[in-house]
């Protein structure tokens, strides 16, 4: 089947089934051709919270589809390929319970990149775009943060009066980026502005001109009068910036900085899932009831 025919069939089935496709910016760029919304984790959860669709096809990783299901218990949510997030999988229910037991009576913030079971044990969720505001909203001087130690460190640096005890998880994709890579790119492109994601190591964030979520970096690039950007994050963001701003020079760290779990979905998978309704995501009712508080509380902050 050629691409045009594939896209037509996907769009026709979406209409017939009142289904939408939500896609993260790290997905293969061809997914944008059929997605109803492409964005970062916060944008995706905000959209999932207000959609009127009966069915949600999630082009992303497991925790994203799980979050959409928790927000829409009566709707059907599908994950065309059951791919997980390596950072989310660094902490499980037992580990969060132990972490809390070692640090009692401290509010727990969990990055949205975590399983529903972990969320069910936390007080409030955050994404990379609202982590600072979420921690601030707690009005406390001590916080536990799971699972991303680098995001926790960046939040702590931005909020002088809060001591964050971080679980020692991290994103293996962003971990591959080193300060030296940026300095090398800078030597060849001295006027370039460096954008990085707060999942990057401290040494990377410290030498960046702007640090923000996927969407925040893309917005920065859109609004800036500058013409050259070193983009220290996942390849999907680099490729979308190159597509959307052909007059700007978008410089990747390397084509090797990609998240394998995010690259599994193809247009063919979207069609297959719309036709066969495979891989429906289910969340245990008791876990979902507890986890929704954590997500709702974040959505009220922003």
Token digits for 301?
């902050």
Indicate the SS3 state at residue 272.
helix
Minimal CA–CA distance to 45: which of 213, 198, 239, 170? 213
Shortest CB 277 distance to ligand SF4, Å? 24
Shortest CB 299 distance to ligand 13P, Å? 14
Sketch the per residue contact string, 177 through 216, with ligand SF4: x for CB under 6 A, - otherwise. ----------------------x-----------------
Q: Tell me how far apart the alpha carbons of residues 72 and 267 are, in angstroms, rounded to a whole number.
A: 25
Q: Tell me how far apart the alpha carbons of residues 80 and 196 are, in angstroms, rounded to a whole number.
A: 29
Indicate the SS3 state at residue 183.
helix
Q: Tell me how far apart the alpha carbons of residues 183 and 262 are, in angstroms, rounded to a whole number.
A: 27
Select the span of 123-131, 171-179, 245-253, 270-278 touching ligand SF4 (CB under 6 A). 171-179
Contact status: 86 vs ligand SF4 (CB under 6 A): yes
Angular region, 277: left φ>0, alpha ψ -120 to 50, beta rest:
left
Contact status: 261 vs ligand SF4 (CB under 6 A): yes
Contact pick of 67, 128, 194, 208 for ligand 13P (by CB under 6 A): 128
Contact status: 67 vs ligand 13P (CB under 6 A): no
Contact pick of 31, 68, 79, 85 for ligand 13P (by CB under 6 A): 85
Minimal CA–CA distance to 116: which of 279, 282, 293, 288? 288
Under the rule (CB under 6 A), what is the footprint of ligand 13P?
40-41, 85, 113, 127-129, 171, 199, 213-214
Q: Give the binding site for ligand SF4 (CB under 6 A).
A: 61, 85-87, 113, 171-173, 199, 234, 259, 261-262
């Amino acid at each position: 089947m050629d691409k045009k025919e594939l896209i037509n069939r996907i769009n026709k089935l979406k209409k017939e089934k009142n289904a939408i496709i939500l896609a993260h910016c790290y997905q293969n760029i061809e997914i944008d051709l059929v997605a109803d919304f492409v964005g970062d984790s916060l944008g995706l959860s905000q959209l999932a919270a207000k959609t009127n669709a009966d069915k949600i096809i999630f082009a992303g990783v497991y925790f994203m589809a799980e979050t959409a299901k928790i927000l829409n218990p009566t709707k059907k949510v599908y994950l065309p390929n059951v791919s997980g997030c390596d950072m989310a999988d660094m902490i499980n229910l037992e580990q969060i319970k132990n972490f809390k037991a070692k640090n009692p009576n401290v509010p727990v913030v969990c990055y949205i990149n975590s399983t529903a079971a972990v969320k069910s044990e936390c007080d409030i969720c955050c994404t990379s775009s609202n982590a600072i505001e979420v921690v601030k909203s707690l009005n406390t001087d001590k916080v536990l943060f799971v699972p991303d130690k680098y995001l926790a460190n960046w939040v702590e640096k931005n909020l002088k009066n809060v001591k964050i005890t971080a679980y020692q998880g991290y994103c293996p994709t962003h971990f591959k980026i080193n300060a030296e890579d940026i300095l090398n790119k800078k030597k060849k492109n001295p006027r370039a502005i460096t954008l990085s994601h707060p999942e990057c190591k401290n040494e990377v964030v410290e030498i960046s001109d702007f640090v923000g979520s996927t969407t925040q970096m893309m917005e920065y690039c859109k609004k800036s009068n500058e013409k050259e950007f070193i983009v220290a994050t996942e390849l999907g963001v680099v490729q979308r910036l190159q597509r959307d701003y052909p007059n700007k020079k978008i410089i990747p760290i390397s084509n090797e900085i990609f998240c394998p779990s995010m690259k599994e979905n193809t247009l063919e998978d979207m069609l297959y899932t719309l036709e066969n309704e495979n891989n429906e995501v289910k969340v245990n009712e008791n876990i979902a009831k507890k986890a929704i508080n954590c997500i709702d509380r974040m959505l009220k902050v922003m």
